[in-house]
Chains A and B, each alone.
Chain A
Amino acid sequence: MAGLDAIPERKVRRIEGRYRNPVGKYKVWRSNACKVCGKCIEVCPCGVHVKPEGYSRFLPPRDDLCQGFKCKEIGRFCPDHCPAGALRVELSPIYESLGDYRWTADLILSTWRMAETGQAPDGDLEYKIGASGGGFDRIRFRFPETAPQVDGNEISTAIELNRRKDDERPRVQIDIPVYGGGMSFGSVSPITMLSRARACAAWNTFTCTGEGGYPERLIPFKDYIITQVATGLFGVREETIQRARVVEFKYAQGAKPGLGGHLLGDKVTPAVAAMRETVTGTALFSPFPFHSVYSVEDHKKHVDWIKQINPPALIAVKVSTPVDVDMVAVGSYYAGAHIIHLDGSYGGTGAAPDIAKKNIAMPIEYAIPRVHAFLQSEGIRDEVTLIASGGIRTAYDAAKAIALGADGVVIGTTELVALGCVRCGNCESGRGCARGIATTDDKLVSKMTLPWATQRLVNLFNAWHEQFVDILRRFGMTSITELRGRTDLLMHLDYEDQPEK
């Protein structure tokens, strides 16, 4: 398996979904009236109709490629052209039942498309915003009509993670302003974990082990892996800390702020138990909070501890978004952190009480400008890297978060959607994820292969990178760091046009 230990190429390859019947926005029906004349193949601009050489009949239509009624505008709507009247196109009933306010069917399908093709979808899928009616979904960029001409190749989307001036630790740089959030061994499958690590290595960014140990198969990619120290300290050892270039303290998780972690007994397989040094089949609780941290001073003691064990490591502090999130951020900086990672309340999770997901702590959109402004007023904004997460679904969400004041973002759910997640929300029950993503059940895990999963994520990052470059190009910027805090480039649809300064 040497090939799988090597860092994969940063190259887009078209890769289909792993299910026999792909889901699209439209459903194409072909009736028995079809005379197999082949007119539809000529007409269709998207390759929906397929009849391989030597076949006497068509294969089932590729619904997922269909652009639907958009074809009417260009006069290539296949039902209009079929001489036998055998074709019918309608909105797919699955599409109508897919998604929710935050992750609309369009967002799920377009993320699948990005993972397939490495590019933003070109049909009528809305791939920039969801339908939650607030926050990112109501914020838009004010693109200028003309901008200075910038060559796309000169545009950099890289950010630096260590910006402290009082610190000799390495200046770690990542090539896209995005890295992966913590997903523990146990909550997701080894293939999910490894594919994330490989794709992040290809894109020179990071993924995070979450709280559940550091599987040995990840070691070849150790330069691209953040390891997490969370309240349960599961699988945390000196060597796992020493292996990482960035060590993350998880104080809270946006989806369940103020509550501990919970891995249900079913998911604690022998492998998971061994990694976490616990008993098979016994539910594992991570307490909330760190019972050794009740002040910023205690927190500093923690940071110092890691800094001693791993002298070149950067320290990230992941906190949620309480009323006084700005205070927490400043306190973390003074305790010695390099990265302040804010996790907003609409973030993802493998299992959380519904009451917590909706009601505790504030959405990330509110927290970013607060913290950004507070760090500025303290005069330390340029010495700390501010990372936002918790509801960053699209490249546009990420760019808006940066314009609101973050340096970069962390994503999680988007990666899982790229791997085929339908957001059914059953990650926690029984054997775990039916789609083989968030499970440790051997049979379910085998539904996905490592090369497939890696390529999907490499493609996704490429699609995001292209969108970042496009946004910067339209603003005439050459680096994503220029976009940070440029709230003047944003507008909110629910506000009067002229902001009062």
Chain B
Amino acid sequence: MISGGTSYLFPLLHYGLACILSATRKSEEAATVPKKYHVPVKSAPPKFRRIGKYGIIDRREDCSACHNCVKRECIYDCYKEEDDRLRKVDGYVDYLYECKSCLSCVQSCTKGLLSRKVNPEFEALGDDFWTPDIISRTWYQAETGKIPVSGAGYGGPFVGPGFDSMWTDMSEIVRPTRDGIHGREYISTSVDIGRKLSNLSFDENGELRETPPPLIEIPVPVVFDTLHELEVPESVVLASASAAKRLGNLCVIRSADLTASFGPFTKAIVPLADETLRPEDPWLKKVRLVEIEDGENVTESIGAIKKSHPSLVIAVRVRFGRGSAQRVLQLTKQGVEVIHLYADQTGQEWEETSSRHISRVTREVHLALVEERIRDEVTLIASGGIAMAEHMAKEIICGADLVGIDMSIPIALECRVCGSCKTGLACPVGLDGIDRDYATQRLMNLIGAWRSQLLEVLGAMGIRDVRRLRGEVGRAMFFEDLERESFGPIFGHRKTEAEVSVTA
């Protein structure tokens, strides 16, 4: 593990340094306090019925209608409108979906008629990657804009694939933390997209020798990306563009899909084109960032476009794969300022065999750039399989500057990941006719909730700017490192994952 070990061996020194740093920062702040960014979240309840995890089984035929019915005692009032709802012809029994699973009624019913079961409809949601849990939490965040909070400790597996095999660090005693979430300290989540100069040079008049390249600053390190494996209706893309505009954020849209309806959202739109994109394309005059699919002549296309649009930032879109690091180095050296790496929907690189998770590939790409000392010359956007707020934080730790989300967009709008659309069936939640304002609010809520969670993680680490999180693997712990360092001296060699899965 690459850790910031040396500085922590000398807590005093480190503390002293931190003092000086914070002192200088304070005096700067007095001059230019950044405008506080705030996501206007607002409750946006679902249009379709919720799918809860637990359901109560009620064997009514034996009910003796006794006077101390436990249903009246439910502290969550789940059964309150039971009778009314059952009487309605089209009424579904919502209370089944609202059960909070305290088992009180099940354990108290005089005749023991109630039982509990995991809702089969809940279990059938999504797939192996987009699990029912991820889907229902995304719904919650899109509805409320709040951080999912619960009681009791973590109940999941010890470790899992991909991002579940790393933990973020925290501060303790010897390092100051930050309190972002309650607003006592301002933590910035803004990132810049574009090339940053490694140094400035001045001429004899004290003027800059070269104009700094254009930079786009966005307030949250997560943009809306286009979906590769799912065709979403234009209404959804429009909602993403509208949410991006209101958030001051960006939304990647295939240029073929850009119609006149997108006119109001131009500042937020990032057209995605292939290398045949011509400088005359009308969208280039209006947008701040454009993405071009990687190809042999991509740098020539960029050169041509840059000539007529010098203030436009141009990104190259590269697939995550075994050659990513090589390709990123090459493009960066050729002057490409932004590279958007994208994986499949589950966060795996595009390789038929032994495909790696983006967290690994991103670390490789980032380190390759660091070793060549050109990391700041390029901005890395990573997308594919970013499903939860923690994935955003962890992917940035692995070396991305910012991330893009894809499947989370329809899920925030109540998509059940049922796959009907892929087979040409009608969408059960009617995404094609979704109300724009409602959808916009749901997406803003999701980003608001994710940002708050990022603040929690940054605050715990004592980091006040998400830009500083990039590539900070010293503030993360990786499963294989922890196993080797803590358990290696005790238990010896860990078996390979294949051997482990056989014995497990």
Give residues in A with beta carbon < 8 Å to B: 17, 19-23, 60, 93-94, 96-97, 100-103, 132-135, 137-138, 251-252, 255, 257-260, 285, 287-289, 293-299, 319-320, 322-325, 327-328, 331-332, 345-363, 365-367, 369-370, 373, 390-391, 404, 413, 421-431, 433-435, 438, 444, 487, 490-500
A97 & B485 in contact (Cβ 8 Å cutoff) = no
With both beta carbons as reference points, the residue of chain B lying nearest to A264 in the complex is identified as B149
A100 & B155 in contact (Cβ 8 Å cutoff) = yes
B182 & A391 in contact (Cβ 8 Å cutoff) = no
Nearest CB in chain B: distance from A25 CB, A: 14
Nearest CB in chain A: distance from B240 CB, A: 23
B153 & A349 in contact (Cβ 8 Å cutoff) = yes
B103 at the interface (CB under 8 A from A): yes
With both beta carbons as reference points, the residue of chain B lying nearest to A431 in the complex is identified as B75
Contact with A along B140-169 (1 / 0, CB 8 A): 000000011111111111110000000111
B44 at the interface (CB under 8 A from A): no
- Cross-interface CB contact of B149 among A101, A351, A434, cutoff 8 Å: A351
With both beta carbons as reference points, the residue of chain A lying nearest to B113 in the complex is identified as A21
A251 & B172 in contact (Cβ 8 Å cutoff) = yes
- Cross-interface CB contact of A325 among B156, B159, B172, B184, cutoff 8 Å: B172
A362 & B477 in contact (Cβ 8 Å cutoff) = yes
B456 & A320 in contact (Cβ 8 Å cutoff) = no
- Cross-interface CB contact of B11 among A295, A354, A430, cutoff 8 Å: A295
B456 & A356 in contact (Cβ 8 Å cutoff) = yes
Chain A residues, Cβ within 8 Å of B12 = 295-297
Bound Cα distance from A426 to B102, whole angstroms: 8
Known: A134-B157, A499-B492. A93 touches B115 (CB 8 A): yes
A348 & B150 in contact (Cβ 8 Å cutoff) = no
A323 & B460 in contact (Cβ 8 Å cutoff) = no
A494 & B112 in contact (Cβ 8 Å cutoff) = no
Known: A94-B116, A135-B158, A496-B493. A328 touches B457 (CB 8 A): no
CB-CB nearest 8 A-B residue pairs: A258-B460, A134-B158, A427-B151, A100-B155, A258-B170, A499-B492, A19-B107, A434-B102
With both beta carbons as reference points, the residue of chain A lying nearest to B493 in the complex is identified as A496
Bound Cα distance from A425 to B394, whole angstroms: 25
B30 at the interface (CB under 8 A from A): no
Known: A21-B108, A426-B151, A496-B495. A360 touches B159 (CB 8 A): no
B155 & A495 in contact (Cβ 8 Å cutoff) = no
Most buried by B among A251, A359, A365, A438: A359
Bound Cα distance from A352 to B153, whole angstroms: 8
With both beta carbons as reference points, the residue of chain B lying nearest to A438 in the complex is identified as B151
Chain B residues, Cβ within 8 Å of A491 = 491
Subset of 6 A-B contacts with CB under 8 Å: A138-B158, A287-B182, A327-B9, A360-B457, A424-B152, A434-B100
Bound Cα distance from A260 to B460, whole angstroms: 9
Chain A residues, Cβ within 8 Å of B245 = none
B174 at the interface (CB under 8 A from A): yes
Number of interface residues of B (CB under 8 A): 87
Nearest CB in chain A: distance from B1 CB, A: 8
B173 & A331 in contact (Cβ 8 Å cutoff) = yes
| Extra inter-chain contacts (4) besides given A258-B170, A349-B151, CB under 8 Å | A297-B12, A349-B153, A495-B494, A499-B490
Bound Cα distance from A362 to B4, whole angstroms: 16
Known: A21-B112, A351-B150, A491-B491. A93 touches B57 (CB 8 A): yes
With both beta carbons as reference points, the residue of chain A lying nearest to B492 in the complex is identified as A499
B167 & A294 in contact (Cβ 8 Å cutoff) = no
Give B176-210 interface residues, CB cut-off 8 Å to A: 176-177, 179, 181-182, 184
Chain B residues, Cβ within 8 Å of A345 = 154, 167
Give residues in B with beta carbon < 8 Å to A: 3-5, 8-9, 11-12, 15, 18, 54, 57, 75-76, 100-104, 106-110, 112, 115-118, 137, 147-159, 167-177, 179, 181-182, 184, 388-390, 393-394, 453, 456-457, 459-462, 474-475, 477, 482-483, 485-487, 489-495, 500, 503-504
B151 & A353 in contact (Cβ 8 Å cutoff) = no
Known: A94-B103, A287-B184, A322-B169. A359 touches B390 (CB 8 A): yes
Nearest CB in chain A: distance from B43 CB, A: 16
Chain A residues, Cβ within 8 Å of B171 = 258, 289, 322
Chain B residues, Cβ within 8 Å of A351 = 149-151
Nearest CB in chain A: distance from B500 CB, A: 5
Known: A134-B158, A260-B179, A431-B75. A353 touches B456 (CB 8 A): yes
B172 & A353 in contact (Cβ 8 Å cutoff) = no
B108 & A20 in contact (Cβ 8 Å cutoff) = yes
A365 & B486 in contact (Cβ 8 Å cutoff) = yes
B153 & A348 in contact (Cβ 8 Å cutoff) = yes
Bound Cα distance from A336 to B31, whole angstroms: 42
Known: A101-B156, A257-B170, A296-B173. A23 touches B103 (CB 8 A): yes
A490 & B457 in contact (Cβ 8 Å cutoff) = no
A296 & B153 in contact (Cβ 8 Å cutoff) = no
Chain B residues, Cβ within 8 Å of A490 = 490-491
Nearest CB in chain B: distance from A404 CB, A: 8
Chain B residues, Cβ within 8 Å of A373 = 489
Nearest CB in chain B: distance from A285 CB, A: 6
Bound Cα distance from A349 to B477, whole angstroms: 22
A252 & B170 in contact (Cβ 8 Å cutoff) = yes
Bound Cα distance from A254 to B3, whole angstroms: 21
Bound Cα distance from A288 to B176, whole angstroms: 10
A355 & B504 in contact (Cβ 8 Å cutoff) = no
Bound Cα distance from A325 to B167, whole angstroms: 14
Known: A289-B177, A351-B151, A438-B151. A331 touches B11 (CB 8 A): yes
Bound Cα distance from A21 to B181, whole angstroms: 43
Nearest CB in chain A: distance from B190 CB, A: 20
Nearest CB in chain B: distance from A440 CB, A: 13
B172 & A495 in contact (Cβ 8 Å cutoff) = no
B104 & A434 in contact (Cβ 8 Å cutoff) = yes
Bound Cα distance from A324 to B170, whole angstroms: 9
Nearest CB in chain A: distance from B6 CB, A: 11
Chain A residues, Cβ within 8 Å of B116 = 93-94, 97
